[in-house]
Amino acid sequence: MPEAEVILWSKRKGKQMSGYKFRRQVSVGPFVIDFYCPSQKVAIEIDGESHFVGGAPREDAERQRWIEQFGVRFIRFTNDEIRGNLDGVLMSIEQTLAE
């Protein structure tokens, strides 16, 4: 697992986020979601440097649209956001779960 995912997972595992359970590396059809909260249908994606080169942004958008057709809501963060603003990331996740 990349460093940013390890940092976020350390805050997600168990029921550390307002009692909501998250799973790691969840398969949805041919795709894998970094973190998923089944009760709220919320996917969290952590985008490293490889997500911003070549056709990766387009592929990510297509993948996200495909998964969203099942009612899954996405929130995305970069590695830098996780490392530099973890409190803000956690607050954003909390807000999304409360919606």
| CA–CA distance, 36 with 42 (Å, rounded to integer) | 6
pLDDT at 85 over 90: yes
37-67 b/e (C-beta count within 10 Å ≥ 16 → b): beebebbbbbbeeeeeeeeeeeebeebbeeb
pTM for the predicted model, two decimal places: 0.82
Residues of the chain with pLDDT > 70, as a percent, come to 88
For each of the domains in the chain, give its residue range(s) and CATH number, in order of start: 3-98 (3.40.960.10)
Q: Mean pLDDT across the stretch 78-84? A: 92
Q: Is the dihedral of CA 56, 50, 44, 91 positive or negative?
A: negative
pLDDT, tens digit, for every residue of 2-46? 788 888 888 766 666 678 888 889 999 899 999 999 999 999 999
Average pLDDT in the 89-97 region? 92
